[in-house]
Structure 1
Amino acid sequence: MIIRRTFLVYLVLLGGVYLAAYLSEPQNTYVYYRVGYFLILVGLVSLVWTAASLRGLEIHRSSRVLRQQVGQIFEERFEIINLSRLGRLWLEVRDLTDLPGKRGSKVVANIGPHQYRSYYSRTLLTQRGSFLLGPTMISSGDPFGLFALEKLFESDHKLVVLPFMVDLEKFPGPTGRLPGGRALRRKSLEVTPYAAGVREYAPGDPLSRIHWRSTARKDRLMVKEFEQDPQADVWVLLDALQGVNLALPYEPYDQLQREQFWVLPHKVEVPLPPDTFEYAVSAAASIANYYILEGRSVGFASSATQLNLIPAERGERQLGKILEVCAFLKPEGKLPLLGLIEGQANQIVRGSTVVLVTASNTENMVLAVDILQRRDLQPVVVLIDPRGFGSATSSDEIAEKIRQYNVPVSLIRRDDSLQAALELEKFPRGSVSEPPKNGE
Structure 2
Amino acid sequence: MASRLTAAVLLLALLSACATPPLVRLDTGQGPRWEYRPSSSQQSVKVDTEAFEESLTQLVLNAPLKLRPAQQGWLVRASHPGPREDTRWQRLMSKSFGGLCEPGQRSEHCLSLLDDMMGLSEWDKLGVALGLSLDPLKESISQAVQDTLAPQLFYTVIATGLITWAVLAANPEPVFTKAAALISVLLLVYLGAETFLEVVDASHELKWTTDRATTWKELEHASQRFAKRIGPKVARVLVLAVTLVVSQGMTGGAVLLASRLPMLPSCSEAAAGAARLGLNLANVGQVTSVAVVGSTIVISLPATAVAMTAQSMGGSVAAAGEHPSAFRSWGSYSGLRSALGSAGKGKQWHHIVEQTPGNVDRFGPHALHNTENVIPLEQGLHTRVSGFYSSIQQEITGSRSLTVRQWLSTQSYGTQRQFGLQALEQIRNGTWGVGQ
Q: Confirm or deny a common fold (TM above 0.5).
A: no
TM-score when scaled to structure 2?
0.28
- The structure that is strand-richer by fraction is 1
